[in-house]
Chains A and B, each alone.
Chain A
Amino acid sequence: MASQVMTNLDPKSRAAAKGLSDLTIRNLFIIPTIAFLIIFNIFPLLYSLAYSFTDFRASTNAPAQFVGLQNYRELLSDPFIWKNFSITAKYVLISVAGQVIVGFGLAMLLNRSIPAKGLITTLLLLPMMLSMAVVGLFWKLLYDPNFGIINYIFGLDKFEWLADPDMALYAIAIVDIWMWAPFVMLLSLAGLSAVPKHLYEAAEIDRASGFYTFFRITLPLVAPILMIAIIFRTMEAFKTFDLAYVLSSQPTTELIAIRLYKMAFQEWQTGMSSALAYIVLIMVVAITNIYVKYLNKVKAR
């Protein structure tokens, strides 16, 4: 559409003849970025694909030996890796569900005339602007069984949030919910404000219950944008590293990204960890695809 208008300009006019041609400008503007992204994203990926078929260890200078699919076979039959994946799945489920409930709830509350709404919204956004690693670390103090304020406020005495292997994953998820519910809230608010007012007025005239209005009008119309929030948060939660890494070192909180980090940069199993990286990558792409398909379905309705 754009270029149509552009080509309508006489290409031989003086204005167009001066200076660089549109084609040159387009290439000048686009090619550096594409090249940059290929060099720093695609090339490293191919590099690690090659390493994933070797027994290379970056800590030694021994040349890499080609081992074929052995790394992949070993990883896929390792019960500990599957344990890491199931911990990750559990974590993603808890934290994304929590964020959707809290975030959408907040948006529903805020979607009315509330004093100082702008200020409140900005304040609520603060947690997600902060560094997960740095703030996560501080939550260690808040969770402390001896002098943390959380136990004090809720009267939990010496409850062990992070040392209890069953509780630690929930404790991390709570921090994640605290940080990212505002993101869901922000997108939901945008979705809610786009719902046409006349639908509510019509529902009111029909004396529809609040319940009915919510499930038949609000939710379906907000669903696509809520879905986008869920996609983003699922992908991010799947990748979680810093938060869990600074908060806990329990085996029950070893998310797949942490396992990958340890394998690559503590055990220096470079070849093996490259293979695991590929498995993770394929999973992320698969999950994203499922989500996007579902999103399109929701949108089409």
Chain B
Amino acid sequence: MAGVRTPQEKWTNRVAIVAVFVAVAIMLTPIYWIAATSFKPRNLATTIPPTVVFQPTVSPFVKLFTKRSQLRDQPSAEEYAAAPWWEQMVFDGGEKVVRNGKTGEVRSSGYGDRFTNSLIISIVSTILAVSMGTLTAYGFSRFKVKGEDDWLFFILSTRMLPPVVVAIPMFLMYRVVGLNDTHLGLIILYTAFNLSFSVWIMKGFIDEIPREYEEAALVDGYTRMQAFFKVVLPEALTGMAATAVFCFITAWNEYAFALIMTNRNAQTAPPYIPSQVGSGLPDWTVIASGTLLFLIPVAIFTFLLRNHLLRGMSFGAIRK
């Protein structure tokens, strides 16, 4: 907008700045509250008035990763002293960490495995979707394809379906071929899901790389493949990174398919965390710590690639 000149404009600008800060505060309060709750002792999570100042503890994180049970009898002084600090913390919260009767090993909750599953499935499907998408986008961008617009629309249309609609036949198909509750099953699904986006975003990026680069390489005696890998691909890297963020976020956060297609072996964190609420009084500190850990990869990604997000998100709608 035009620069600030009159006193009246100065004043409206100040009001706008205050309004923006208020909006940011409102938008971020829930996220702040998740973070704060995940460092609270359990009894402070549900107080009225809400506890804002408190002694932070990592006991929710300890509880998140371990299997635990309600403490029936207070541990003896020796037992308490012999326990490591993190176990004492759980004792303090009125619970105890469950150990394997014979070996004495600490039993883990499902969260660690679910988190690992989320990581494996999201990363692999992102790599697949971005690499396939980049090749296809290059194919559409540089060569003549009969009915190109129709193909591109078809590719995008695969994204329009409500997941639950596709889930019914996929569930039946997967049951027949034995892909239910496997990592591969979800990887394939998420790749298929993200591929359409990936092709569209990458086509926008590749269209902007001048063709002269490859032509020069071809004249220099490169084969078309070499020209693609040595000239075009390095230019397309920022676009691929932006696309990767989108694919990762979608796969990382996906809930419906994970809920339907997995139950133990390949379950990811999104269906797992809500399943911990159960019918009794949920331990919100543990849920908050699980949620906070789950947010971290996405928050990092968002921050690192904030400058590419806009172009990727509006794929083709905005020309520079």
Give A residues with C-beta under 8 Å from B. 2-3, 5-6, 9, 14-16, 18-20, 22-23, 25-26, 28-30, 32-34, 36-37, 40-45, 47-48, 51, 58, 106, 109-115, 118, 120-127, 129-135, 137-142, 144, 146-147, 149, 152, 178, 182-183, 186-187, 189-191, 194, 197, 200-201, 204, 224-225, 228, 235, 238-239, 241-242, 246, 257, 260-261, 264-265, 270, 273-274, 277-278, 280-281, 284-285, 288
Contact = CB atoms under 8 A, between A and B. Distances in A.
Given A152-B48, A261-B164, A225 B271 contact: no
Contact of B294 (A51, A131, A147, A246): A131
Contact of A126 (B46, B50, B158, B299): B299
Interface in B33-49: 33-34, 37, 45-49
Nearest to A239: B162
Contact of B249 (A58, A129, A224): A129
A288 B160 contact: yes
B195 A20 contact: no
A45 to B, nearest CB: 7
Given A20-B225, A58-B171, A33 B314 contact: no
A264 B167 contact: yes
A47 B13 CA distance: 58
B241 interface: no
B119 interface: no
Contacts of A129: 249, 298-299, 301-302
B13 A112 contact: yes
Interface string B62-77: 0000000000000000
Question: Which among A37, A58, A111 has the greatest number of chain B C-beta atoms within 10 A?
Answer: A37
Contact of A41 (B166, B220, B287): B166
Given A30-B136, A122-B306, A149 B33 contact: yes
Nearest to A131: B253
Contacts of B171: 58, 264-265
B138 interface: yes
Contact of B314 (A187, A260, A277, A288): A187
Contact of B168 (A48, A110, A130, A246): A48
Given A23-B143, A48-B169, A135-B30, 12 more contacts: A3-B144, A15-B222, A16-B224, A25-B225, A30-B151, A34-B136, A37-B155, A113-B4, A121-B306, A124-B24, A147-B47, A260-B162
A115 B302 contact: no
**Would you list the 5 A-B pairs with minimal beta carbon distance, nearest first?**
A19-B223, A44-B169, A29-B139, A131-B253, A133-B255
Given A106-B23, A146-B46, A260 B164 contact: yes
